[in-house]
Chain A
Amino acid sequence: MKLLSIIVKSLKEQWRSFWILLLTLSMGPFFMFVYYLILESSKPHYDVAIINNDKGYITDSESINKGEEYILFFTSSVKDSVNMPFSIKKSSSRSDGLADLKNKKSDAFIIIPEDFSKQLIEHKNSESTGSVEIQFFGDLTSVNYLLSALWANETLNSFIKKSIGSGDFIRISETGIGSSSKISDFDLIVPGILIVSVIMLMFTATIAFVSEVENKTILRLKLSRITTFEFIAGITVVQLIVGIISILLTLITAAFLGFEFQGSAAVFILIAVLTSLSIIAFSLIIAALTKTANEVLVVGNFPLFLFMFFTGAAFPFRSEGLFNLFDYPVSLQGLMSPTHAISALNKIIIMQMKLSDIIPEILALIILTIIYFFIGMILFRKNHMQLK
């Protein structure tokens, strides 16, 4: 009954703190949208300009232009590559091609020589052992040039082997695990941003605890027969609801921007619940050490940044494991619950693994949540609810 009263009161107060609630719920979708824009605008694109000077080769029955055939081969080879988007265009002259390079309108400029078809066909017929010179132009310090030239060279070799009837000595097969063969950079950042939306709960949760201290209404709670556990549990239930809504809104935003949710929805909710609880528990520690909302905004920034930037939530972060515990790497970052939540989400929604594959992460989240709550409850009781 008392717990229900605290829940109802906390719900009303949370709703009536509308702007804080709105800010918390909008941060996840906002970050998702910002990351989408950043990744979309910085997506690589490679422009290759080609002049085909090839005069062709005339046989009894037909006229062959291997230069034109190569351009078609190159275009068709790269047209399905999502991660290596190429634009191949023909330049009208050498000077125009070099001008485009200087003006960054193209990344690489290729000149196919006049005798390209002739040399290729004679080489095939073993009538000649000479070579043709294909000229590549570009800024040697530019990664875009290097990648463009590499792909142009690779397709050129393939085209020549195909033209002269020489087979490949090696054949490489590449298999992506889970959805990794289909995922984009945006997909990769989604699990982290989903956890960011839960980390943002730190402010509303801490303020919900501290407002009773700041308004001195904690005195009324102390005078009543409510226990510290009932008080904390009531606020935790409401903040858990806020956390779940926040992560779902962020997921919907990601889906709206093209992210395809894979994996088990139930396991996703389990991870969301555990992560929210761990953040609420950590918020309780901050609340125990502060007395006003202003103090929360100052003191709370430090763990917020740690949680956002050193767990892989806002940016990919590779942590060095100190040791392995049952094959699960234990690191300093592992003291922060989002580290495990992100790892679990990656496995579930990117790699399409099962619940049994994320048992270490789930255990780590549970253990950290219990530790945070234990420390928070003792400190909160000592600093704010105990008789002095």
Chain B
Amino acid sequence: MSSIPDEAEITVTGLKKSFRNLVAVDNISFEVNRGEIFGLLGPNGAGKTTTINMICGLLPATGGTIEFHSHKIKKIRSVIGYCPQENICFPKLTCLEQLVFMGNLYGMPPKQCRSIGLGLLEMLGLIDKSKVYARNLSGGMKRRLNIALALIHNPRILILDEPEAGLDPQSRVMVRNFIKSLSKEKTIILTSHNMDEVDRLADRVAIMDYGKIILTDTPYNLKNSIGEGDVLEIEFIENPVGKTDKLISDLRHEYKVIQSGNSLIIIAVHLIDKIHDITSSIKDEGLNIKEIKLRENTLEDVFIHLTGRMLRQ
């Protein structure tokens, strides 16, 4: 993971966005430091895309401020590279043609656009598709081309909305490594509802839900905040509501326990030694176990801990 310089690149203060009666972003504040990868994590509809649209200048804020701290920045759009959630490319242009075209629109000379474009296609594994029309690319290739389009004008700030969405495992690793390599010279904001993606990439994470930022910290600190150790997920055959009150009460003397739907999530150190005792207690309550999973805790556990519900709910 790259080091986090202290100098702030972007400061968001009291940012709000309402669409009539719907408050999409509700008074959020955070800072993104120069050269760091900052993750906005949250379920669909949490307000992540609305937030970055406001940062990109595509959406005016209802309230609050967004400050870009580089004094050299005159035209904000020139220093921001944006890869939207949806794959947006010019279907009747080849990969290289659209990179050159977009570079030209940012005022770059064609030769430079061509050279940078070829470099980006090489790095993103699309060099053999440079003369292929975008409409003929697969979904994963289009995703990579979209990342290239966001970078053609060499922006200082890169904003990636769900960068790994729709990618196959191989492409996912390639894109992840590529984003990591960029973090040395660029400030990156990425949004995702994929905990693993953010956990692996981000230096710091802001967890969003219902338009608000619940917590901001490094992934390590966030995971530690709910306790070091393991997570035991126990899924019941039937809905255990009403039957688990005594069980949870007993277990909470020793562990952190969260009930989520048909599952019970138990967090503690060295849980492997305690599985037998826990399952015996469950059976004593007359509950039937469908599946047991034991793993290290993740950002998803943090989210569940903070919101009391699963990310996908």
Contact = CB atoms under 8 A, between A and B. Distances in A.
Interface of A: 1-2, 4-5, 8-9, 12-13, 16-17, 215-217, 219-226, 387-388
B106 interface: yes
B60 A224 contact: no
A217 B93 CA distance: 12
Contact of B107 (A2, A16, A17): A2
Given A215-B89, A223-B58, 18 more contacts: A2-B105, A2-B107, A4-B104, A5-B105, A9-B93, A12-B93, A219-B84, A219-B88, A220-B90, A220-B149, A221-B105, A224-B106, A225-B78, A225-B105, A225-B106, A225-B107, A387-B57, A387-B59
29 contacts: A2-B104, A2-B105, A2-B107, A5-B104, A5-B105, A9-B97, A12-B93, A12-B97, A13-B90, A13-B92, A16-B92, A17-B92, A215-B91, A217-B88, A217-B89, A217-B90, A219-B58, A222-B58, A223-B56, A223-B57, A223-B58, A223-B80, A223-B82, A224-B102, A224-B106, A225-B75, A225-B105, A387-B57, A388-B59
Contacts of B82: 223
Interface in B14-57: 56-57
A149 B285 CA distance: 115
A2 B102 CA distance: 9
A126 B88 CA distance: 100
Contacts of A225: 75, 77-78, 105-107
Most buried by B among A16, A220, A222: A220
Contacts of B86: 216
Interface in B94-118: 97, 101-102, 104-107
Contacts, number: 64
Which are the 5 A-B pairs with shortest beta-carbon distances? Answer: A224-B105, A5-B104, A16-B92, A13-B92, A216-B88
Contacts of B78: 225
Interface residues of B, number: 27
B92 A12 contact: yes
Contacts of A226: 105
Contacts of B107: 1-2, 225
Contact of A215 (B77, B88, B149): B88
Nearest to A5: B104
Contact of A220 (B59, B102, B133): B102
B104 A223 contact: no
B104 to A, nearest CB: 4
A219 B89 CA distance: 10
Contacts of B106: 224-225
A117 B102 CA distance: 93
A66 B136 CA distance: 85
A12 B101 CA distance: 12
A329 to B, nearest CB: 45
Nearest to B60: A387
A17 B135 CA distance: 13
A17 B91 CA distance: 11
Nearest to B80: A223
Contacts of B93: 9, 12-13
A306 B92 CA distance: 32
A9 B101 contact: yes
Contacts of B104: 1-2, 4-5
B59 A224 contact: no
Contacts of B89: 215, 217
A223 B77 contact: yes
Contacts of A1: 104, 107
B60 to A, nearest CB: 6
A251 to B, nearest CB: 30
A234 to B, nearest CB: 10
A388 B60 CA distance: 6
A5 B86 CA distance: 24
Contacts of B90: 9, 13, 215, 217, 220
Contacts of B91: 215
Contacts of B88: 215-217, 219-220
A10 B256 CA distance: 61
